[in-house]
Structures are given as structure tokens and as C-alpha cells.
Amino acid sequence: MQDLSIPQALVSSVAGARHVMVVTGAGMSAESGVPTFRDAQTGLWSRFRPEELATPEAFEADPDTVWAWYEWRRDLVARAEPHAGHRALAELAGLVPRLTLVTQNVDGLHERAGSRDVVEFHGNLFANRCFLAGHALRDVPRPCAKPPTCPTCGSLVRPGVVWFGEAIPESALARAAASAGDCDVFLSVGTSSLVYPAAGLAHLARDAGAVTVEINPEPTEFAGVATHALAAPAGRALPALLASVQQALASGRA
């Protein structure tokens, strides 16, 4: 495989940035072998549509089945490992004054790669809370065949993800919007960019004057308006970008 060439202007922008914002989507996780929401429906679960399982109504009607589906998905994620792109982002955070990482993924792979303070738009498969009062139960010992009950209020425990019909947490949206308006470099990684709210953030950053970058093997509509578009997987593009930025910083060219 040929080395990916990173435009010098992009390297300078990142190396000299005050605030880098990164939004990652399903493509980021797919490179680690985590199937996308829809591709995950195989075997026993192929007879269900995700919409029939990922709703508060489904959990109320049949909590054991919904919980079992999430346990199965947690197993898929537990067998996956963060890739070089995840690790490169964690390392990049140490090279710039500020880095805001927003993800649409629920697998926690960014944290496992060493990223801190990740803004999770759709929650996290492993961050559980009780159904009625939202009491947090971050670590339910696994495996766990049936939903446990909340020690505080006795309600059933549900996965801490955003279901159909539920809103993205207000705090996550507010942080992301503020970052998009403030960042000087915006990276869209492995996301279709067309899906709200990621699309909105990219355009917000662009309108605020940020250098915008799309990293995706299949260029999306956003590639046409972004400052730079790298048609490559994150696992290749991000380590290459990181190496170039490190080199620029070491030689004082930033």
C-alpha cells in the first residue's frame, strides 16, 4: 500500500491549531470490526429490525429480549480492539492546546485507545442507567443475562444509549456546537456527514472559518466543500497525519 500523502497546508493547520475538533462516525468503528447498527443483525437477531429493539417501548414490553440484544452487541465490541486511527487521535490530543472529540459511536473504543472526555452523542453500550429515574450504573458486571434492578429505586436497568424517539443529550449537543464555532480545524472521520447533527457541525465550523477536513474511504457530499478531503480509511489517514504533525512540530515549522 502506498504511503498516503498529507497536504502540507493541512499539516501546518493542525500543528498550529489552538483547538482541533474531531467528529467520528460508524466508519471509524467498522475498521475495528464492529458492525454497523444494521449490519449487526445476524444469526439469532436477524429476524428483528433494530427499530423493534432500540426503543423505550420495546424495553417496556420485553426488557429481557432488549437487554439480551445489547449483551450480544457488547460481546461483539468486547472482542474488537481500537485501531491505529483511534490511537492517533488520543496521541494528537497531547500535541495541540485543545482537542474536542465527538463520536456517534456507542462502543467506547476511543476511551480504550486513551482518549479522555469524549462527547458521546448516542451514549455508550457499557454506561447503564435505570429506566425510570436515570440513576447511573456505569459498571454492571458481565456477562449479565437479564437486566438488573437499580439499587436506588428498584427500576430495571437499561443500556445508556440513545434510542429511537429519544434526544441526543442536551449537554453533548451544546458542547459540540460551542466547539464547532470555536475550533480552527474540524475533522469529519468515517461519518456520512449527511446525517444530522454531524452535518450541521461541519457546516457550523466551516462558516466560523475553520479548516475543514473529511477523512472517509468513500468521499461524501461534504468532501466537495471541505478544505481537504482524504479518501482513505481512518486507520491509515490519522496515523499519517499524526506523523506529519509530529515532524512539523519537531522541526519548528508549525
Catalytic residues: 122
* Residue 147 C-beta-side C-alpha neighbours within 13 Å: 23
* Contact stretch for Zn ion (CB under 5 A) within 66-74, 78-86, 122-130, 194-202: 122-130
Check residue 44 for interaction with Zn ion (CB under 5 A): no
Alpha-carbon separation of residue 174 from 179, 191, 197 (angstroms): 9, 20, 11
Check residue 208 for interaction with Zn ion (CB under 5 A): no
Check residue 130 for interaction with Zn ion (CB under 5 A): yes
Check residue 135 for interaction with Zn ion (CB under 5 A): yes
CB of 159 to Zn ion, least distance (A): 14
Check residue 149 for interaction with Zn ion (CB under 5 A): no
CB of 128 to Zn ion, least distance (A): 11
* Contact stretch for Zn ion (CB under 5 A) within 30-38, 123-131, 176-184, 197-205: 123-131
The residue count for binding Zn ion (CB under 5 A) is 7
Torsion of CA 42, 48, 53, 58, to 10 degrees: -150
Cα–Cα distance measured from residue 135 to residue 122, given in angstroms and rounded to the nearest whole number: 17
Among 9, 61, 133, 178, interactor with Zn ion by CB under 5 A: 133
Pairing label, strands 185-189, 211-215: parallel
CB of 136 to Zn ion, least distance (A): 9
Q: Chain-centre distance of CA 189, in angstroms?
A: 9
Check residue 250 for interaction with Zn ion (CB under 5 A): no
Helices then strands, each counted (H, E), the chain: 10, 9
The amino acid at residue 112 is R
Cell of 211: 479548516
CB of 14 to Zn ion, least distance (A): 43
* Contact stretch for Zn ion (CB under 5 A) within 115-123, 129-137, 180-188, 207-215: 129-137
Cell of 136: 447511573
Q: Over the Cα atoms of the chain, what is R_g? A: 19
Alpha-carbon separation of residue 51 from 58, 135, 165 (angstroms): 9, 25, 10
Q: Which is nearer to Zn ion, 33 or 154 (CB)?
A: 154
Check residue 150 for interaction with Zn ion (CB under 5 A): yes
Contact track, Zn ion, 152-181, x by CB under 5 A: xx-x--------------------------
Positions that interact with Zn ion (CB under 5 A): 130, 133, 135, 150, 152-153, 155
